[in-house]
Amino acid sequence: MQCDYCLNTFTVQQLEDYAEQMAKKAPEELKRAEEQAKLYGYSCPSCGAEVITDTTTAATTCFYCHNPVSISARLAGEFKPDSIIPFALNREAALEKFQQWIRTKKYVPRDFFSAEQLEKMVGVYFPYWVVDAQLRGKVDATSRSIRTWQQGSMRYTETKTFKLEREGDLYLSDLIKKALKKANRQLVESVQPFDNAGLRDFSYTYLAGFQAEKRDIEAEELDEVTRGEFVGYATEMMRSTVANHPGVSNERPQLWWTDLKWRYCLLPVWVLTYRQEDDEKVYYYAMNGQTGKVNGELPVDKRRLRRKAFLFGLITFAVTALLVIGVRYLL
């Protein structure tokens, strides 16, 4: 059995051993683990095959007829997204962009961009929270300017002290927070930012042909850290309003919350994973399905690299030997 995200494989014995360990846990912990591991079956509308998914998969592909299966119940009620950014790059465009990117890299294993490997590239809608905030801000500070000049035998110094006050409303929008625990952090954060001008009202039709995930991180879990980020941004904005004055000191920013709005959104990412045989490391390639921004760590073909190093060493040795012979001949 293989995990679709980390590509780790497990034997039947390993799973049985894990089940025994889980059986020894407290009843509440066991029940919670069973709920998290529960699988669900849905019938493919095209061929009737049973499609098995976990609790957060909201759209997938039938492995028999390769037609998309949208599990709309997963995205209903409170889990129905408010908005979605549709894929602007189709599969052909994503593959072409990947191949252009890979051509500029050296010593990449050939099977990393083989036809079989490229078939594994999938378009996934990942769940995010997009947050807007409105705050009332005030900052008090002191500004001091010093001027000196010489007149005759006398030197004069003039010091002016000003009290600075700034007050107003601050609007901050489109802070993106991940809403899925199981997704690899690199997959969903490395290709930001998204252009939120592309947000559309959610419709199930956008899911056709792509996979999608349902959120399992609620806004309440992110509330404290999100508010902290907004306070940091707002504080810097308030300080910037007095920064152009000379000798600013005693800054005292104050902030009051007036509104915090959460929107549940699905954002598009093309994903490709690769496990290198010689070190068992999993490499992730991700592409923003809207803007085409690419991020990924490439594997290195160590055998090719060693052959290259050996050839370079051989040439260096040969050139050195010829130089030594030539010097001796001249002497």
Enter the tokens of residue 314. 């051989």
Is 301 found in the same domain as 213? yes
C-alpha 231/C-alpha 238 separation (Å) is: 10
Does 167 map to a domain? yes
Does 108 map to a domain? yes
* CA angle in degrees (0–180, nearest 5) for 67-188-212: 25
Enter the tokens of residue 291. 């803007």
Is 282 found in the same domain as 181? yes
Does 323 map to a domain? no
Is 152 found in the same domain as 17? no
At residue 282, the pLDDT reads: 72
Is 14 found in the same domain as 159? no
At residue 52, the pLDDT reads: 46
Residues 6 or more apart whose Cβ sits within 8 Å of residue 33: 22, 25
C-alpha 129/C-alpha 127 separation (Å) is: 7
Letter string b/e over residues 8-29, b meaning 16 or more CB atoms within 10 A of that residue's CB: eeeeeeeeeeeeeeeeeeeeee
Is 112 found in the same domain as 7? no
- Helix, strand, coil % in the chain, rounded to nearest 5: 35, 35, 30
Residues in the chain: 331
> 3-class SS at 207?
helix
**How many domains, the chain?**
2
Does 60 map to a domain? no
Q: Give Cα 224 distance to the centre of its chain.
A: 20
At residue 38, the pLDDT reads: 47
Is 98 found in the same domain as 1? no
Per-position DSSP letters for 276-301, written without gaps between them: -TTT--EEEEEEETTT--EEE-----
Per-position DSSP letters for 237-264, written without gaps between them: HHHHTTTTSTT-EEEEEEEEEEEEEEEE
At residue 35, the pLDDT reads: 47
Does 198 map to a domain? yes
At residue 180, the pLDDT reads: 83
Is 242 found in the same domain as 152? yes
Does 326 map to a domain? no
Does 71 map to a domain? no
Enter the tokens of residue 315. 């040439």
At residue 43, the pLDDT reads: 54
C-alpha 248/C-alpha 94 separation (Å) is: 51
Is 12 found in the same domain as 142? no
At residue 273, the pLDDT reads: 75
pLDDT per residue rounded down to tens, the chain (331 residues) = 555 556 667 776 776 676 667 666 555 554 554 444 444 555 555 555 444 455 556 556 554 454 556 555 566 667 788 999 999 998 889 888 887 877 666 656 666 666 666 777 888 888 899 999 999 999 999 999 999 999 888 999 999 998 989 899 999 998 999 888 876 666 677 788 888 888 888 887 787 778 788 888 899 999 999 999 999 999 999 888 888 888 888 888 899 999 999 999 999 999 887 766 666 667 778 889 999 888 877 666 556 555 555 454 556 656 565 666 665 665 5
Identify the helix (H) or strand (E) that includes residue 306: helix 302-330
Q: Which residue has the tokens 């990942």?
A: 126
Give the domain extent around 7: 1-27
Is 155 found in the same domain as 17? no
Distance set, CA 67 to CA 38, 47, 59, 61, 273 (Å): 24, 9, 11, 6, 22
Is 148 found in the same domain as 2? no
Q: Indicate whether this model's pTM tops 0.85.
A: no
